[in-house]
Structure 1
Amino acid sequence: MEKSVFEKNWEIYFTQCYSNGRIRFSDLSNILQLTAGEHATNVGFGFKEMAKHNQTWVLSRMRIEINRLPKWMDIVQVRTWIQELEGARSTRNFEILVNGQVYVTATSYWAVINTVKRSSEDLAISAAGFTTYPDRPATQRPFSKLDISQLVKNIDQYIVKLSDLDIVNHANNVKYLDWCMDRLPIELVLTNQIKSLEMNYLRELRYNDTVDINGDSTDKGYFMTVTKQKRIHFALEVETK
């Protein structure tokens, strides 16, 4: 398969699973992002190459549609490709397969930021010759800009810890998902009721930041936010079956 479509197999370990033996949603998201990182490195615009230009990719939006969650000891095949790549923005799609059957699909929207200026800028590395697939979506619906004006109730407060930080020195985006999933009804998470997750990453968080975790049920499922001083840093829409 050509370099513009990348595949990687992952084994699901018990440390990645909920008590029902199915993969945690945060670990599912993490596997997608690790595969994206390996693909970017493989084609010449990975973390180390971009660091030379004081740049990095930042995840802005992601939509995950779930047919079935992989379980402990499954070997999952993650397939990824770029739908669009222009300037400072990229749309990347995914499929997760187990024994040839599609379990999960996802689409994501990434931005290039300058790590010194902390602002968006065009990719400094040439992507000439890299094939994109504008007519090859993965999900039934594209990612979207969530309506963050929805009313929510405060559920909990949290202080960002050292273990939440990644190599870019901010809270890793999979942590936001964990914070929210931990505060949903446990039976909802463990009984295969979740049909899709839609995430908007709006602002970064740093060590020792105090955040409010908010949410409420909707006609679709749940809507949740992570806020700092009443400004929304992360929004999550959970659609149930």
Structure 2
Amino acid sequence: MDISTFEKNWEINFTQCYSNARIRYSDLSNLLQLTAGEHATIAGFGFKEMAKNNQSWVLSRIRFEINRLPKWMDVVRIKTWIQNLEGSKSTRNFEIYVNDQLYVTATSYWAVINTVKRAPEELAVPIGDFKTFSDRSSTQKPFSRLNLTQVVKPIGNYTVKISDLDIVNHANNVKYLDWCMDLLPMELVLTNQIVSIEMNYLKELRYNDTVEISGNSTEKGYFMTVTKQERISFALEIETR
């Protein structure tokens, strides 16, 4: 059996949805990462195997391109594959279908970190005959290094809570997206105006860290940052219709 590509079906439940019955952007991101995690486990470089070497995958960049959002009780089929895997870095792509219609595509960039040293290092687990697909992309545009010099203004503050932490003992990356979305106009989030979301994860945040959330409208949509002591930990770029 070829394990180099992977598919998983998920049924959207009401706890994952906004008040318009469409899935939250953070929960959509979470489903992609759960699917990636299952694929990595089957392939032999999942969480438990990585932990034996004090290693973990961390998400560095991700880009979503959205035709429409799945809704409550939809069964979504997520396809995933690795485009590139070399040293400490990996590019993983996704396609999200509902009833065989392509709803969302995504491309993501991951790094291996040593969970003790909190620093990147090469993957210690052998990948064997696992195949990558260097010519198989999913999105129209690749993920990118966002322009962090864009002008933003403070719109809120947040202190990292226990419920924000994940098993690696830092703020889980889907939490950053929720913090930002909660500060955007409701009509922007709930009326299917968003066509792409791109995120850069730059510095990890830990329990009780206090951050400033800033943002500003752009020609294409909206740009936001999460900053701790004047250093950007997270950047978000939204493109709207």
TM-score above 0.5, yes or no: yes
* Cα-to-partner distance string for 1:157-204 (whole Å, 9 max, x where unaligned): 111000000000000000000000111110011000000000000000
Alignment correspondent of 2:126 = 126
Alignment correspondent of 1:56 = 56
* Cα-to-partner distance string for 1:101-149 (whole Å, 9 max, x where unaligned): 1000000000000011111100001112111000000000000000001
The equivalences for 1:25-174 within 5 A come to 25-174=25-174
Equivalents in 1 of 2:155, 2:3: separation in Å?
Answer: 45
* Cα-to-partner distance string for 1:31-78 (whole Å, 9 max, x where unaligned): 000000000001000000000000000000000000000000000000
Query: Unpaired runs of 5+ in structure 2?
Result: none
Over the matched positions of the two proteins, sequence identity in percent amounts to 75
Query: Unpaired runs of 5+ in structure 1?
Result: none
The size of the alignment, in residue pairs, is: 241
1:221 is aligned with what amino acid?
A: G
1:143 is aligned with what amino acid?
A: F
Equivalents in 2 of 1:37, 1:128: separation in Å?
Answer: 18
Equivalents in 2 of 1:93, 1:129: separation in Å?
Answer: 19
**SS of equivalent to 1:146:** coil
Equivalents in 1 of 2:16, 2:54: separation in Å?
Answer: 32
1:94 is aligned with what amino acid?
A: F
Equivalents in 2 of 1:134, 1:84: separation in Å?
Answer: 6
* Cα-to-partner distance string for 1:5-45 (whole Å, 9 max, x where unaligned): 00000000000000000000000000000000000001000
Alignment correspondent of 2:222 = 222
Equivalents in 2 of 1:2, 1:99: separation in Å?
Answer: 24
2:154 is aligned with what amino acid?
A: N
**SS of equivalent to 2:96:** strand
TM-score between both structures, scaled by the size of structure 2: 0.99
Q: List, as ranges, runs of 4+ consecutive aligned residues in structure 1 with deviation greater than 4 Å.
A: none
* Cα-to-partner distance string for 1:178-236 (whole Å, 9 max, x where unaligned): 00011111001100000000000000000000000000000010000000011000000
Equivalents in 2 of 1:44, 1:115: separation in Å?
Answer: 19
Q: Is 2:184 aligned against 1:184?
A: yes
Alignment correspondent of 1:20 = 20
